[in-house]
Structure formats: C-alpha cells, structure tokens
Amino acid sequence: MNPTEKLAEMLEKVRAYSPHADLAPLEKAFAYSVKAHENQARASGEHYFVHCAAVAESLIEFKLDLPTVCAGLLHDVLEDTPVTRDQLAAEFGNEVALLVEGVTKLDTLQFVSRDEAQAENWRKMLLATAQDIRIILIKLADRLHNMKTLNFLDREKQERIARETVSLYAPLAHRLGMFRLKSELEDLAFMYIHPAEHAALEAEVREMTAGRDAALERFKSSLEKKLADTHIPHRVLARSKSLWSIYQKMQRQKKPFVEIQDGMGVRLITDTVANCYALLGLVHTEFKPVAGSFTDYISVPKLNLYQSLHTTVMSPQGDLIEIQLRTEEMHRTAEFGIAAHWRYKLGAATPDAHLEEKLNWLRQWIEWLQDLKSPREFLESLKTDLELHQVFIFTPAGEVKVLPAGATPLDFAFTVHTEIGMACVGARVNSKMVKLDYQLQSGDICEIQTKKGSVPKKDWLNHVRTARARSKIRQYLREKGIVT
C-alpha cells in the first residue's frame, strides 16, 4: 500500500459526498495512525495500518461524517499502542476520542473467562452505541476487514471468530438494516464455519450462474418492454442471493440448491409508494404470479424498518423470478440501513424520525440487557433478540407485534405492556386456551388474560425468549428476594 496514494484516494471519495468539509483532520488522523502503529504488523505480515485504512474506507463507503472516518483510522490506538485517551482528545477533540473509546475492548486480564470478557465487551460497546450510533458502525467496519483477512489465523480462531460474526455481528447489521454488510459478513463466515458446504455450494452457484444470468437478462429485457409505455419512473437492478442465505434456506426447507426458487431476482425501484403498487399491478398482469409468494413489507415494515413489496413470478421461459419493488429512499435504507439515516440527518433542521426510532429501540433494549447479571445469559439474550427469524403476532384489536421465533404468550404480554405481562394468568391463541410456554406462530391472534394482584413466577424465566420479558421478571423476583 502506498500511503500517499491511499490518502489521496480517501480525500477524493470524502470530497465527493461532503464537498465543503475541512479535510485537514482526516490527513492528520491518517499520519497519526501510521506513526502510532509503525512497529506493528498483522498476522498476514502486512503493516498494521493497512487494517486501519480498510476500516476508514468502509466508513467512507457508508458516506459517514469526518469524525467517524477519523475514528476509523484511529480505532485501535487506545487498545494497541501507548497513546492515552487524554492524548487522543488533545489531538483530535472529545468527539473522536469518545468514538475510539467506544470501540476499545476492555483489558481481558480483568476477567476469569472468555465468556465473561466477551459479554462485558459487548455490554460496554452497546452502552456506548446507545449514546452514539456511529460506534457500532465503526465496529462493524472493523469486523468486516477482520473477516476478510481471517485466512491468516489458525483454524480454532477462524471458527470462533466466524461463529461470533454469524451469531452477533451479522444479525446486528441486519437489525440496523445494513443488508449488504450483513450478507458480506455471513458469506465470509460461511467459508470458515462450513468450508466443505461453502465450496460445494459456490461451485453449484458458479455452474448455474451462466445460465441464470442469461435467463435474468431475458426477463429484464421482457420486463422493460412491458413497462416502457407506463411513464412510471423506474429502474431495474439484478439481485444476487448470498451463499449463506441460500444455504440457510436449503437447511430450513430440506431442499437441494436446484429447488430453491428465489436464487434469481430483480429489484424494481421507483419514486413513490403509490408507484410501487402500480408497478406491482402491471407485473402481475404481464407475468403469472406464484401463489402465496406476495409479501407487503411497505404496509408492515420489518423491525429494522426495511420496506419493499416481494412477489415471485414465472418468466415467459418458465423461470421463477423474485421481484422486490421499492422507492429510492427504501432502497437507500435497505442498502445502508441506519448509516443512510445518519447521513441524511447531518445538517438537517429536524431530527430523522427513522433514526430516532432505531435509537429508541436500541436504548430500551440495552436497558433490558443491563439487568442480566450472568455473562452467558447476557450473550444468549443478545443472540435471541438479534434473531433474524421473526414471527408476526396480532392483538385482538389487529395490532401487529414482532417477536423472535420461539417467543411465547408471556413474551407477547410484556411486549404489549409491562403491567399486562406482570399480571398475566393465561392466554388464548386463535380463540383457544394455551399454556404460557406455547410457541407462537406468525399470524396467531393472541389474547392475554390478566388478574389483579397476580405476580410473576420464577418458572416464567424458563418460558420467555426476549430480553425485555426476562429483565422485567428478574427485576420483580429480585425485589422479592426470590432470585439474586
């Protein structure tokens, strides 16, 4: 890596989306990081600064503000060099120092086990993230480059880091709506968790890609012709499915790769919500839709605010094509998630409602996680609440509540309201009485029965999956001296 060329490249990319920014702090952070890490090397043998530059480049790709990019360049100086927090703040200001401090791990010598160290580092980082969301964006960029260079570590470390990535980092990227990053992290982890399956699936996908690309181009051409006279503004993008998501679908459906129907897909991007539905009507008129394949994530967005219409149609040649329809704003959110909202918040006169909604969810969630004293319980709750597979449960009034797969009526009760959860004595699902450990399924209508004066029981801790329910139950039991 030529440092002069690398710096010039970074400056040019930042200027492209932030033309009026004073880039002197970026130049200073670049030089400072090179100097601080000058005697350090990565496991690959490369100069350590190569990693710092890669993290900053990812943050530039997210089009983040200058303090975040500077913190990306400096993210390891507190952890891996003699530089102190006060020295860093004196050189770059408190904002950059806070960001770097937020991603700095605690000294592992403080802890008796790896579980405890991992849990406390996550707790520290999430608490810092609740104050400034940019901290998690730096951490995700850091993990992305670490995953790209995992081949230089021994097998045990590769598998441990890959499993942590797929169980914590990728779901967190998903929860923040950063789908492109999530897919990249999962595919990189897949190589190390299931190397044989990854190699076999990659070969199958490569073999089928030539034929599929041709089929996809034929469909795109046919679609463009059908939409040419509509005068609805739109663009068509091809969509490739990640290897990990194909593998997961194969496992869930117990099907070989050739039978997975949504390996091929396109995105139709337009200007307004009304035009999303108008284009959907035209697509269904021109191409035969597959029964049961339509999902409306515009009317009911996912927890991470993802919005699109999904449908699968049959092409004239008999190929199954999944189509996602969304607006340009929805597309930005789907690609960059919270990073996109952060970007649009910069310089805005009013706060971004989407960003505030995400931060409120994060703050509340961290509050619940803080109540869990055992490191193992903390990590398990963290993984559960980041669960990608969700169920959509209805209140009797028709309001939708989104819960992780495996959630019970008790989880549902606490999601509706803490007081309803505390006084819960029973539940009816689809008009039938069920036990409190019943696993809810998408589409269930759940009605909670309460009784004045009723209180949580200790065995409830065995029947809940969400951090919120677990935290509220433990808090009550601890106050009563039932648990410590």
Dihedrals φ, ψ of 479, to 5°?
A: -60, -35
Cα three-residue angle 474-479-480, rounded to 5 degrees? 100
What angle do helix axes 94-103 and 134-148 make, rounded to 10 degrees?
50
Total H helices, total E strands in the chain: 22, 11
Active site residue 229: no
Cα three-residue angle 288-289-293, rounded to 5 degrees? 165
Closest CA to 196 of 185, 207, 204: 204
Cα distance between residue 42 and residue 49, in whole Å: 9
Classify 390 in phi/psi space as left (phi over 0), alpha (psi -120 to 50) or beta: beta
Cα distance between residue 297 and residue 334, in whole Å: 12
Cα distance between residue 124 and residue 126, in whole Å: 6
Closest CA to 463 of 454, 451, 473: 473
* Those residues with Cβ within 8 angstroms of residue 240's Cβ, 6 or more apart along the chain or in another chain: 265
- Would you call 247 helix, strand, or coil by DSSP? helix
Dihedrals φ, ψ of 93, to 5°?
A: 90, 165
Active site residue 79: yes
Catalytic member of 5, 22, 57, 79 = 79
Q: Give the DSSP per-residue string, 171-228.
A: HHHHHTT-HHHHHHHHHHHHHHHSHHHHHHHHHHHHHHHHHHHHHHHHHHHHHHHHHT
Closest CA to 278 of 334, 233, 345: 233
Dihedrals φ, ψ of 455, to 5°?
A: -135, 160
What angle do helix axes 179-193 and 328-336 make, rounded to 10 degrees?
40
Catalytic member of 80, 116, 286, 335 = 80
Structural contact between residues 95 and 127, judged by C-beta atoms closer than 8 angstroms = no
Place of tokens 């029965």: 449
Cα distance between residue 390 and residue 406, in whole Å: 9
Q: Report the run of H or E that residue 325 belongs to, with start and end.
A: strand 320-327
Structural contact between residues 245 and 183, judged by C-beta atoms closer than 8 angstroms = yes
Q: Report the run of H or E that residue 464 belongs to, with start and end.
A: none
> Which tokens go with 199?
């190699």
What residues act catalytically? 79-80
